[in-house]
Amino acid sequence: MISDLDFQIKQGKKIVRAKTPPPTDAELDALRVQRDALKKQFDETFGKPELTDAQRAAKESANLDRQIAEVQRQLKEGDIFPESPKRKPTTPEIEAKRAELEALKSEREWLRDATQPEPRDTNPEIPRLNQLKARLDRQIADKTKRIAEGDFNPNPRPSPTTLDAEATRKTAELRNLEQQFELARRSAQLKQRSMPQKILDFFSKWMRREFVLSSPSSILKLTSAAIQGLGFEPVKEVVGKVISKALPGFETRLRVEAPSSVRIEAKALKDAFTKVMDESALILKTGKGQNDLVFGGKNAIPQEMVSYFGRLHAVLKNPLKRAAFTRVFEKLVEQEMRNGVDVTDPLVQMRMGTVAMKEANRMLFLEDNVLVNAYRSGLGRLEAKVAGTGKPSPVGLVAGAALRFTIPIVRIPTNLVARTIQAAIGFPVGATKLAFAYSKGIKELPTESADLIMRQMKQGSPGGVMLLLGYFLPQMFGGYYQPREKRAPGDVGPGKLRVGSVDIPAVFQHHPLLQVAQLGATIRRVADSHIRKKDKEAQGLGAGVMAGLIGLTEEVPFGREIFDAAKLQEPASREKWLDDYIRSAVVPQGLQWVARETDKVTPFNPFEDATKRNPTNLLQNLKTGIPGLREQVPVKKK
């Protein structure tokens, strides 16, 4: 052994001896098998010899003698510090493997906590904490591995799980149960309210909202909006088809806003009125249409649609909603068929129906937006339960009720104004985004972004035409009301549309494309007007644009209240504003509508204005909203 080591040192070369396998043949193999069998039988017969107490004591004594001798040696030689641990070798690959090992250990620990019958720790947070650690270790391992491999590309999105028939059925069942759960949750919340909270809710949520929704003016708005939507949407689809054909590569990035066809538009129009009576009865009964039941999910029923008048509004808008659903659904069917997808698969139909239902709600201005979400979040904080008492604070309840009472309807008006702005400036905004997309490569444009760009351009193309039409034909469009504005005799009134010799009231113009024409007329009228008669120069385009935006803002909840709050600062307008507010709160809108309609030369003539009255106190103001008493209020002088 010593000579071998000395030889290797002198030669400067280590001798690597290969391990030679033991010789073998059939006879030796048979003998080894016989030996192993006999040894197993021997161990089972006699067992392994156990050490006696004396033997164990002697063994422990010898072990201690070795430790004593080692410590004495360390003291004698001055070797009193422990050896520093050897530095482990490291490379990026080794570090990645170590991180992977730690992640696997964390997952093992979490699985132990999840599967162990009895918890090893009384703290219930331990399993969740271990799950978090496992997730963090997995992320650390992933980042370490990607650094080692130089992989800095974004993580690919996981592909959706392909469901079988049973999973598809369970998905549909879950959607239905989510709707039932949401309705049951709301019902349980209503039952758990205190008596003061029920009283506040009655006046703020139900009576006030029902007063607003019960107005026949709202019914007329919704009916005209549905008819106009059925007429304008095919026009926008024609515009979209022209745009997509004129721009190479853009059509392939579209999904929801892909070009339509004559077949699709004909089917959408047909489905709008198919089984309309049965569908209307279902909506009046449950608040939901057939498509809502299948594809709507737990949020299929907006809160404002739960009441009776809300359901009545849903019935009036249902033809437009069904047409929008069919239009998008049929587009998706054609796309999936071109891609070789089986469109009869229930899962595929569920996915397409969910997308189509979302677009159908957007057509009715029912999509959420930032302003609505902020408003709901603020109400939630005001009406949240206080820690310790488990009940909402009285101040928060009163403040929340006051907000609901003042602003009963939020979602639809804000979306209508947003859509009007999109109609006014949508084309240049969308075209600019599209130019940037082409500069970066149109094939890299995400489908969602492509749909948004096309939606802006489809809305903005006819919208731009209507904006210019209103601007160059102010004698046709009345524009928004301007304070202290005096119009010439025979001029079209604010908000009205003059066609020939007939003035169409604003109630029949509840569509963004018609609203954007009123915006253009407002800009032109204010731009050409003078602040004072002696002024030689008109106010100009800037003042016109500002007046148009202010007029549009007054149609939005919150914006209208801001302008109304300004009236409270002036004593001349404060009393009238308060009287008007009280009348709107205590007299249903439907009753006020009847009072105005009967106060005409020709009662209930939609093209005729009611006689203008000049109430001087609260009692007279209330009378203006009551049929038969309105005529007792003095006529306003011209």
pTM above 0.85, yes or no: no
pLDDT at position 563 over 70: no
* CA of residue 32 relative to chain centroid, distance: 74
Residues forming beta bridges with residue 521, ordered by sequence position: none
Work out the average pLDDT over 4-19. 65
The model's pLDDT over 463-472, given as tens digits with 9 standing for 90+, comes to 999 999 999 9
Alpha helices in 247-341 (DSSP H): 262-272, 276-286, 290-295, 308-338
Query: For residue 621, what are the contacts with CB-CB under 8 A and spacing of at least 6?
Result: 576, 579, 580, 582, 583, 615
Percent of the chain with pLDDT over 70: 82
Largest CA distance in the chain: 132
Work out the average pLDDT over 234-256. 91
- What's the pLDDT at 348? 83
- What's the pLDDT at 304? 44
> With contact defined as beta carbons under 8 Å apart, do 601 and 225 qualify?
no
pLDDT at position 317 over 70: yes
- What's the pLDDT at 257? 93
Work out the average pLDDT over 210-219. 77
Concatenated DSSP letters for 451-483?
HHHHHHHHHHHHHHHHHHHHHH-TTTB--S--T
Work out the average pLDDT over 98-122. 69
Percent of the chain with pLDDT over 90: 24
CB atoms within 10 A of CB 239: 19
Mean pLDDT over all residues of the chain? Answer: 81
Phi and psi at 635, nearest 5°, equal -75, 140
Instruction: Tell me how far apart the alpha carbons of residues 336 and 334 are, in angstroms, rounded to a whole number.
Output: 6
Instruction: Tell me how far apart the alpha carbons of residues 557 and 372 are, in angstroms, rounded to a whole number.
Output: 10
pLDDT at position 302 over 70: no
3 state SS of 20: coil
Residue, of 133 and 635, whose pLDDT is higher: 635
Q: Which of 205, 311, 249, 585 is nearest to 443 (CA)?
A: 249
Region of residue 12 (left: phi > 0; alpha: psi -120 to 50; beta: else): left
| H/E segment holding residue 503 | strand 502-504
Instruction: Tell me how far apart the alpha carbons of residues 503 and 492 are, in angstroms, rounded to a whole number.
Output: 7
pLDDT at position 305 over 50: no
| H/E segment holding residue 422 | helix 411-440
